[in-house]
Amino acid sequence: MERKVCLITGANSGIGKEAAILIAQRDYKVIIACRNPEKGRKALADIAQYSSIDSIDLKIVDMSLQSSIQKLSKSLHEEYSKIDVIIHNAAIFDITQKKPIISNEGVETIWATNHIGPVLLDRLIIDLLKKSPNGRIITISSKGLLAKPFLKINFNDPELLNERFDVVKAYYQSKLAQIMYTLWLSKELINTNITANSIRVPAVRIDVSKYPKLPDFLKSIYKFKSRFSLSPSKMAETYDYLSTSAEVKDISGKYFNEKNQKVKFGKYQKNWNNIEKLMNLTSKYIK
Ligand SMILES: NC(=O)c1ccc[n+]([C@@H]2O[C@H](COP(=O)([O-])OP(=O)(O)OC[C@H]3O[C@@H](n4cnc5c(N)ncnc54)[C@H](OP(=O)(O)O)[C@@H]3O)[C@@H](O)[C@H]2O)c1
Measured CA to CA, the distance from residue 275 to residue 4 in angstroms comes to 32
Residue 38 alpha carbon to ligand 1 centre in Å: 16
Q: Which of 28, 80, 171, 241 is catalytic?
A: 171
Give the residue, out of 140, 173, 182, 222, with the most ligand 1 atoms within 8 A of its beta carbon, to mutate for a pocket test.
Answer: 140
> What is the pLDDT at residue 63?
98
How many other CB atoms sit within 10 Å of the CB of residue 231? Answer: 12
Give the residue, out of 7, 9, 34, with the most ligand 1 atoms within 8 A of its beta carbon, to mutate for a pocket test.
Answer: 34
The residue whose CA has the least distance to atom 47 of ligand 1 is 91
- Entry pTM: 0.98
For residue 208, which of 198, 194, 219 has the smallest C-alpha distance?
219
CB 67 within 8 A of CB 105: yes
Contacts of 54 (CB under 8 A, 6+ apart): 29
Measured CA to CA, the distance from residue 47 to residue 164 in angstroms comes to 41
Ligand 1 in contact with 135 (CB < 6 A)?
no
How many other CB atoms sit within 10 Å of the CB of residue 266? Answer: 16
The residue whose CA has the least distance to atom 17 of ligand 1 is 14
Burial of 24 (0-12, 13-18, 19+ CB in 10 A): buried
Ligand 1 in contact with 64 (CB < 6 A)?
yes
Ligand 1 in contact with 89 (CB < 6 A)?
yes
Give the residue, out of 9, 13, 227, with the most ligand 1 atoms within 8 A of its beta carbon, to mutate for a pocket test.
Answer: 13
Measured CA to CA, the distance from residue 176 to residue 173 in angstroms comes to 5
Is 222 one of the catalytic residues?
no
Residue 198 alpha carbon to ligand 1 centre in Å: 15
Range of the domain at 70: 5-285
Per-residue pLDDT of the chain (287 residues; tens, 9 = 90+): 789 999 999 999 999 999 999 999 999 999 999 999 999 999 999 999 999 889 999 999 999 999 999 999 999 999 999 999 999 999 999 999 999 999 999 999 999 999 999 999 999 999 999 999 999 999 999 999 999 999 999 999 999 999 999 999 999 999 999 999 999 999 999 999 999 999 999 999 998 888 888 898 988 898 888 889 999 999 999 999 999 999 999 999 999 999 999 999 999 999 999 999 999 999 999 98
Measured CA to CA, the distance from residue 31 to residue 17 in angstroms comes to 11
Instruction: For residue 280, give the CATH number of its domain.
Output: 3.40.50.720
Structural domains counted in the chain: 1
> What is the pLDDT at residue 25?
97
Measured CA to CA, the distance from residue 154 to residue 239 in angstroms comes to 29
Ligand 1 in contact with 90 (CB < 6 A)?
yes
* SS3 sequence of 61-84: CCCCCHHHHHHHHHHHHHHCCCCC
Residue 210 alpha carbon to ligand 1 centre in Å: 11
Ligand 1 nearest atom to the CA of residue 232, by list position = 16
Map residue 148 onto helix, strand or coil.
Answer: coil
> What is the pLDDT at residue 3?
96
b/e 43-58 (16+ beta carbons within 10 angstroms → b) = bbeebeeebeeebbbb
Q: Name the strand (E) or helix (H) holding 48.
A: helix 37-50
Ligand 1 in contact with 39 (CB < 6 A)?
yes
